[in-house]
Structure 1
Amino acid sequence: MLACWKHKMKSEEEDKLTTKDGTTGVVAKFKRVCVYCGSKTGHNPAYSVAALELAKLLVERQIDLVYGGGSVGLMGLVSQAVFSGGCHVLGVIPTALSRKELLGETTGEVKIVSDMHQRKSEMAKYADAFIALPGGYGTMEELLEIITWSQLGIHTKPVGLLNVDGYYDSLLALFDKGVEEGFIEHSARHIILSANTPAQLLQKMEEYAPIHEVAASRESWDKLTP
């Protein structure tokens, strides 16, 4: 198995790579992507299809995965597919959720942490981009927090929302309402990038220009994260 990790030392000036099957592909701008997603697969089969499609693209671009550590639901689908494709997988999960979301064989490297706050902080630390798939309260909370961190200048990494079959239409409309009513700055609305397909979303994320030129100092980060 050819691990994606081996390609980390290659110059970012290169714009092509040779994949495992000998074909030539595009070098991704990101080395590790954090994927937020549900511990369930949902009722619509399109959610699972999109999760696997995203995993395939990550493998093709030799991008490693950081995720919530669960082996069930969309988390399980994405992590298993990326790991099977030869890329490094890091799962971060709180002790309290390990019995519920870690069923059967674990995938890749699993880091067990004390609580949800540490989980989010660790996931953010290891990733250089973020993607949210369909999910429940936990997924949305992770998404909103990482958007807020960007707004505050804690990071300058792109944040993508994979809006499968319009799942997040209402949430995106709420963001627009927030701008309209003066609660969200127009510039901050552009922090969240959305698309209906993984390929479109990754392209938008690679073209993303952050609203802050540089991220806040590590000291500031530590003060704002538990």
Structure 2
Amino acid sequence: MRMSTPGSGTDARAERMRVSGSYHDEFQQNSRSFHPYSSLQRATPSSPSSSTAPNPWVSQSSVPQPNAFRPPSHTHRLAFGRPRCTSHTPVPTESLIVPPPLPRPHSIPLPPLSAVEVGVNPILVTGIAYNIRAPTSFADCPSRRHSSRARDAWRYEAAVRPPVASMTIFLDFDLHRPIVVFPTNRYDAVVAVSDVLDAVNRRVGVVAGELGEACDAGYAVQRLRREVWWVGLVPSLRERDVWVLRTV
């Protein structure tokens, strides 16, 4: 029977390590030769052939090359035709974009209703006693009570002279919305006094309803008082052939 000595055991282990080391070096060498990115490894002085001999197993077209795309330094057009700015093209900033000035608001006067100056019927100036919140049937003309004509004949007189087909009025408490008065009778082309009374009464009803809704919603507005008396029409200081109804 063969007896092993300490020296022989050490020699055997050394031999096995040497054999396994040679196999490990050979495996790494073979694996590097088949690695798809082996041709990208940096060449060292110890392996001068690595930078000159390409790997026959790897396609050169499939290996990504660093810095393969370099954008042009000038402005070029994309596929859809829009220019792209580069570092050489100045980019506008918000501080350089100045919007054009807005036009100044101004009112354009309406054309005159007649070639001559239009005058209001004196009945609409100082001759009516009327609470404009009441129906127009309550309107009274004291100066015509004892007229030989019919009692309500004054209602059908022309509102202005010479007669016109329309008339513009503003209420002194609603100066933002005009009242354009047209003849009620389509067969008559003249605005009558009754047409003015009806148009004013309708607008006052609209204003009273709007103020009532706003007050119910909690807005700081006052309801229109129950009695708003007609004082008279006065010419507007802004436009020609426009009148303002004064109330009290």
TM-score (norm 1): 0.23
TM-score (norm 2): 0.21
Higher-Rg member (1/2): 2
Could you say which structure has the greater relative contact order, defined with CA pairs below 8 angstroms and 6 or more residues apart?
A: 1
